[in-house]
Amino acid sequence: MEVERVQTIASLSNNLGTIPQEFIRSEHEQPGKTTFHGPVPELPVIDLAKPDQYQVTREIVEASSEWGIFQVVNHGIPEEVVKEFQRVGRHFFELPQEEKEKIAKQPGMKEGYGTKLHREPEGKKTWVDFLYHNIWPPHFLNYNIWPQSPPEYRKANDEYCKYLVPLVDRLFEYLSTGLGLEKNVLKEASGGDNMKMLLKINYYPPCPRPDLALGVAAHTDMSTFTLLVPNDVPGLQVLKDDHWVDAKYIPNAIIVHIGDQFEILSNGKYKSVWHRSTVNKDLTRMSWPVFCEPPADLVIGPLPQLVTDENPAKFKTKKFKDYEYCKLNKIPQ
C-alpha cells in the first residue's frame, strides 16, 4: 500500500506556502490561537546531582503532582551519547524514501516507520512521521525493524540504553519513596525486569503554517512514564491550569512525562500530563520519547497501600493491554 508521508507533503507545501486542508486544525486546537502568552511558571527543572537527595525526591513528587512533567539535568547520560543517538535517528529520516519504506509499520504492528493513517475524530491529520521500535529489554528486541543505516545505529542506541536504564531505575525509586513506599515498589508494580521500553522518533518537517497545524495532537501518554530528548527546535506544549504553555528547551535536559499508568498506580497523586507538539516554519523538529510500559498481561490498578476508606480507588484495575486497547480505540476505560 502506498502511503503518503508528511515529509513528502512538506516538501511540496513549502513551495506553495500553504498546507492541505486536512492538516488545518479546528480553531480550538490551532496553536496560533490557543498558545498562552501570559506570565506562567516554567516547567520544573530538577537537578539530580543535588547533594540533598531527599530534596530531589520532594521536588520530583511536587512536579509530578502539580504538573505531571519536569525536566531533569545532571542525569548521568553523557552529552555525546545523546548527540550520537540523535544523529543516527536523524540520519534514518534523511535516507531516500524507498530506504525508509523497507521498515514501514505493517497494520496491527506497533513497531516500524510510519505516518498516522487514521484521521482523528474531527477528521484532521498531524504534521509528523515517526519510527517506533523497542529498545529494552534486550531479549525483546527485533532488530529486523531497526534501521540498517547508518551502520552505527544499533551501537548508538545500545549506548543510550546503557545510561537510560539506570536513570529510569533511579526515577522509579524517587517516585516510589515519594509515595511513602519502599523504593522498589513502583518498579515491581510496573513489571520489574520485564518492563518494556519503546522508543519513538518523531520527525516534524518544516511547515509553512505552524500557526494552523499540530505535530502531535493533545494527549496523555499511556506509559508509566516517558523520558524524552528533543532536538534544539522548541515545540513541546503542556496544558497547565487550562493554558497551553511552551516547554523551554534546556540543552542536555531530559523531559520526564508522567503517563497514565503512574497516575493509576499512585491513585491520582501523580498526574498524567496533557501535552501536544507544535511545528516550525523553517526547521525540522525531532523528538525521541522512550515510553516505559508494563508487560501486556500485567494487571495495573491503584496500589493497595494507597487506597483507604478516605481515599478510595479512583481508577479501575485492568491488564495493560486492555487499557491500551480502550485508549487506542477511544473506548471509555
Ligand X SMILES: O=C(O)CCC(=O)C(=O)O
Choose the catalytic residue: 75, 196, 200, 269.
200
Q: Is residue 152 classed as helix, strand or coil in its secondary structure?
A: coil
Alpha-helical regions (H) of the chain: 6-16, 31-34, 53-66, 79-93, 97-101, 153-177, 185-189, 260-265, 320-328
| Known active-site residue 219 | yes
Choose the catalytic residue: 75, 125, 257, 275.
275
Looking at residues 92 to 131 of the shown chain, list those that interact with ligand X (rule: CB under 6 A): none
Counted residue by residue, the chain has a size of 333
Backbone angles phi, psi at 311, to 5 degrees: -125, 75
Looking at residues 272 to 311 of the shown chain, list those that interact with ligand X (rule: CB under 6 A): 275, 277, 287, 289
First and final C-alpha spacing in the chain = 33
Are the beta carbons of 189 and 264 closer than 8 angstroms? Answer: no
Binding track, positions 209-238, relative to Fe ion; x by CB under 5 A: ------------x-----------------
Q: Which residue number is nearest to ligand X in terms of Cβ?
A: 287
Q: Does 260 bind ligand X (CB under 6 A)?
A: no
Amino acid present at 104 = A
Interface residue with ligand X, options 6, 63, 236, 239 (CB under 6 A):
236
The rounded distance, in Å, linking the Cα atoms of 296 and 222 is 12
Choose the catalytic residue: 50, 83, 110, 219.
219
Binding track, positions 186-205, relative to ligand X; x by CB under 6 A: --------------x-x---
Choose the catalytic residue: 129, 221, 246, 260.
221
Interface with ligand X (CB under 6 A), residue total 12
Interface residue with ligand X, options 59, 221, 246, 260 (CB under 6 A):
221
Q: Quick one: 61 or 131, whose CB is closer to ligand X?
A: 131
Are the beta carbons of 86 and 286 closer than 8 angstroms? Answer: yes
As annotated, the active-site residues are 200, 219, 221, 275
